[in-house]
A and B are shown apart, each in its own frame.
Chain A
Amino acid sequence: GQQVMQIPQYQHVQEGEDFTTYCNSSTTLSNIQWYKQRPGGHPVFLIQLVKSGEVKKQKRLTFQFGEAKKNSSLHITATQTTDVGTYFCAGPNTNAGKSTFGDGTTLTVKP
């Protein structure tokens, strides 16, 4: 079945450092979504990428969708303590309506 893998599993950074998480799918995706889950909270939608090679920015966050639409990345510039949480990518399953989530990357930021 479809697999969505994310690396790294954990990332500890000093405040101000950059952070990147990578997402790889075993199958080509029609789109990819990114979610953030704060400690003790629930996942919150960040963005959806649809086009091959697409790059979208949200302030200090940059999202990329690979040319082959099988991988994606999320890059945070100059991390802040408010960036702490687990970042998940999700791709639609071959069965309509379902999404397969990556294992997530948990970011901790040291002040």
Chain B
Amino acid sequence: GAVVSQHPSRVICKSGTSVKIECRSLDFQATTMFWYRQFPKKSLMLMATSNEGSKATYEQGVEKDKFLINHASLTLSTLTVTSAHPEDSSFYICSGQGADTGELFFGEGSRLTVL
């Protein structure tokens, strides 16, 4: 199946700093990528839909100025958590969608801890 690479897998940062998470589709072109947040023992909460070459579409309640998404190429989407606070600590996962079947290929996830 297709491969989506996400890094860093773990990051610890201080409050007030910004953290960038990268998501790359390694063997397919992803015109659309999705960013999720997952709390312990909870489901995937869609944060935003990232579209190559255009602005991301954010879900209701997600602050677009706090969670900056950039999708500059068909193989790379980035999520930047700006001015991170401890409540932003979470597991963030990206996914790209297969063009033929519509199945989602997930990155390995990034566990963010804000001190």
Q: Taking beta carbons and an 8 Å cutoff, which residues of A are in contact with B?
A: 31, 33, 35, 41-45, 48, 88, 90, 92, 97-104, 106
A residues in contact with B93, CB < 8 Å: 42-43
B61 partner residues in chain A, CB cutoff 8 A: none
Task: Please tell me if the beta carbons of A104 and B43 are within 8 angstroms of each other in the complex.
Answer: yes
Query: Which residues on the B side are within 8 Å of A97 (C-beta)?
Result: 32, 49, 97
Bound together, the chains give a CA A48 to CA B44 distance in angstroms of 18
Considering only CB atoms, which chain A residue lies closest to B94 in the complex?
A: A42
User: Does B106 lie at the interface of the complex (its beta carbon under 8 Å from any beta carbon of A)?
Assistant: yes
Tell me, in angstroms, the Cα distance from A102 to B109 when the chains sit together. 19
Chain B residues closer than 8 Å to A103, beta-carbon distance = 42-43
Q: Which residues between 69 and 115 of chain B lie within 8 Å of chain A, taking CB atoms?
A: 93, 95, 97, 101-109
Q: Are A88 and B102 in contact (CB under 8 A)?
A: no
Q: How extensive is the interface on chain B, given as a class?
A: 20 to 34
Enumerate chain A residues within 8 angstroms of B13, measured Cβ to Cβ: none
- Contact of B46 with A by CB under 8 A: yes
Measured between C-beta atoms, what is the minimum distance from A8 to chain B in Å? 13
Residues of B within 8 A of A33 (CB): 102-104
Shortest beta-carbon distance from B80 to chain A in Å: 20
Q: Are B104 and A99 in contact (CB under 8 A)?
A: yes
Residue numbers in A under 8 Å from B41 (CB-CB): 106
Q: List 6 A-B contacts (CB under 8 A).
A: A43-B44, A44-B106, A88-B43, A98-B49, A99-B104, A103-B42
The reply to whether B103 and A98 form a contact with Cβ atoms under 8 Å apart is no
Query: Within the assembled complex, what's the spacing in Å between the Cα atoms of A90 and B43?
Result: 11
Q: What chain A residues lie within 8 Å of B102 (beta carbons)?
A: 31, 33, 48, 92
- CB closest residue in chain A, given B105: A45
**B67: Cβ under 8 A from any A Cβ:** no
Residues in B neighbouring A35, C-beta threshold 8 A? 104, 106
Q: Within the complex, what minimum Cβ distance (angstroms) separates B54 from chain A?
A: 13
Q: How far is the CA of A43 from the CA of B109 in the complex (A)?
A: 9
Contact of A45 among B34, B44, B103 (CB under 8 A): B103
Give a binary string over B31-55; 1 marks a CB under 8 Å from any A CB, 0 the rest: 0101000000111101001000000
Give the chain A neighbours of B109 by CB distance below 8 A: 41-42
